[in-house]
Structure 1
């Protein structure tokens, strides 16, 4: 037995298709949605009590998350279902196929690892706090030196603040050292990369090429906005754009975003393939372990010896 989570019309369409293929071994018994639109089909569940009742009465062990539901609105629900013992599958009815993955009633699907486990999440958070706190203490003289040098060479406003999208689609304010000054807020929010880097001062180029302008994000990690390791956070404009054009991109927001990640240690930084980044980010989430985080942190530290910039 399975529940289908997502927009009512699309979820009912997926459920009907799956019911027509009983050999796949999945039998939808209800649709979970925020806003039922009156479309007939399976029972529509809109409250936590109704979902819990369906889980118990039908012995639900599978959840089909129609792909948009992996975005902000249904993230907490999907994690709760995973923690209750359900296997959660992401189903995308609007693309030809995932590059890798299984199929259900002809739809591309793949398993989502939303239930990292309380112990694993606690271990990851402890690692974040210990490492970010220690590094902030160790590099605080360097942070002060960078701030003074930027103030003297570039003028006021040495800290760059920008809205980024984090876990479950929640926005937060990311901190960096300011190495360039956008023309206006629109350019800051919608320009993909910095043009005319050669016109920057040598110190700003040095900060960018060594990624030392990212050091202030250790404060974001300590606050809990980010993690040391995870998908890189992006601006709302690009999250919306990439979520529509790249399958699996929205699913990156199942976890906290990070300063570094599996995509970054494989060279996917700056102006590189978004599709490749999303694939590496989702592979990191699906195969997560605390040891993998440690390895990525060590590989990132080693890469700083031979920086190529962001």
Structure 2
């Protein structure tokens, strides 16, 4: 499964100079910030909720860290470079779910051979995301906001991110709820191509919609639907034009695509397009 990134599209060969230039361009954006009162209230909510959840989840994080160390050694944390508000880069924390030192595309598919046994469990339960609560307390991230992306992806879509990065990136958001099971949507044949051509444009659309309409009410609704899809394991659909969220009833009947279907799609003339169409039909 692991692939040499040099064989991926140009986005994965973006030079350090171009990435730095793109993030600086984003940081120089002249767009006005969302209402200051909203930002202060949102920040207070972030700190209070993140601190409380981190305290409650500490035993779960500790148990997962011990399991990771017992199976595949150290480190137990994975630090991934992401672009935050105003183009500032930061290290996003996750519990390590892959074997140490593996390469390949910066995406995870359902049967990714790079995942450890513990990694498969914590990834499926989203436990690997819990350390990002510390990013929220530090101010790198928010509970709700656009999903933070790598410098390469930001550099390839700096026009869209000029608007998106006016707010802090979030642990959850419209695009995160819509693609909560992204690893099951991506086909094994060309996951990076499919992500760049089909999934990332939809995420950008939803992230820009969030920035234009964000409010505490919307944040609370997103947190509720995140609980529905992550904790209750009920798939949620997000309207691409209004941002309205609802239960994805038909997909709930069959959450994962049948492996034989994915295999047939991968053998077809256009794996990325056919996999996306199959996902949309299931929805």
TM-score relative to the length of structure 1: 0.59
Q: Which of 58, 78, 81 is the equivalent residue of 2:31?
A: 78
Alignment CA distance shift 1:156-1:261 (3 Å): same
Tell me the CA shift for residue 251 of structure 1: 2.1
Tell me the CA shift for residue 238 of structure 1: 1.9
Alignment CA distance shift 1:267-1:163 (3 Å): closer
Looking at structure 2, the residues matched to 267 and 151 of structure 1 have their Cα atoms a distance apart, in angstroms, of 29
Paired residue total: 199
Aligned pairs (5 A) from 1:5-16: none
Tell me the CA shift for residue 302 of structure 1: 1.4
SS of residue matched to 1:78: coil
Tell me the CA shift for residue 182 of structure 1: 6.1
Aligned pairs (5 A) from 1:18-29: none
SS of residue matched to 1:254: coil
Q: Which of 56, 77, 92 is the equivalent residue of 1:174?
A: 92
2:136 aligns to what? 221
2:107 aligns to what? 193
Gaps of 5+ in 2: 1-21, 187-194, 235-254, 257-283
Q: Tell me whether 1:261 sits opposite 2:148 in the alignment.
A: no
Tell me the CA shift for residue 164 of structure 1: 0.7
Please tell me whether the aligned partners of residues 173 and 222 of structure 2 are also in contact (alpha carbons under 8 angstroms).
yes
Cα deviation digits, residues 94-116 of structure 1 (max 9, x gap): xxxxxxxxxxxxxxxxxxxx3x2
1:241 aligns to what? 156
2:206 aligns to what? 280
TM-score relative to the length of structure 2: 0.64
Please tell me whether the aligned partners of residues 70 and 254 of structure 1 are also in contact (alpha carbons under 8 angstroms).
no
Please tell me whether the aligned partners of residues 71 and 253 of structure 1 are also in contact (alpha carbons under 8 angstroms).
no
Looking at structure 2, the residues matched to 199 and 226 of structure 1 have their Cα atoms a distance apart, in angstroms, of 27
Please tell me whether the aligned partners of residues 159 and 176 of structure 1 are also in contact (alpha carbons under 8 angstroms).
yes
SS of residue matched to 1:206: helix
Q: Alignment RMSD, CA only?
A: 2.5
Q: Tell me whether 1:211 sits opposite 2:126 in the alignment.
A: yes
Alignment CA distance shift 1:234-1:124 (3 Å): same
Task: From the CA coordinates, give the structure whose radius of gyration is larger.
Answer: 1
Looking at structure 2, the residues matched to 217 and 69 of structure 1 have their Cα atoms a distance apart, in angstroms, of 22
Please tell me whether the aligned partners of residues 71 and 251 of structure 1 are also in contact (alpha carbons under 8 angstroms).
no
Tell me the CA shift for residue 252 of structure 1: 1.3
Cα deviation digits, residues 252-277 of structure 1 (max 9, x gap): 11110000111122236455511111
2:280 aligns to what? none
Gaps of 5+ in 1: 1-67, 80-113
Cα deviation digits, residues 57-100 of structure 1 (max 9, x gap): xxxxxxxxxxx89942323x433xxxxxxxxxxxxxxxxxxxxx
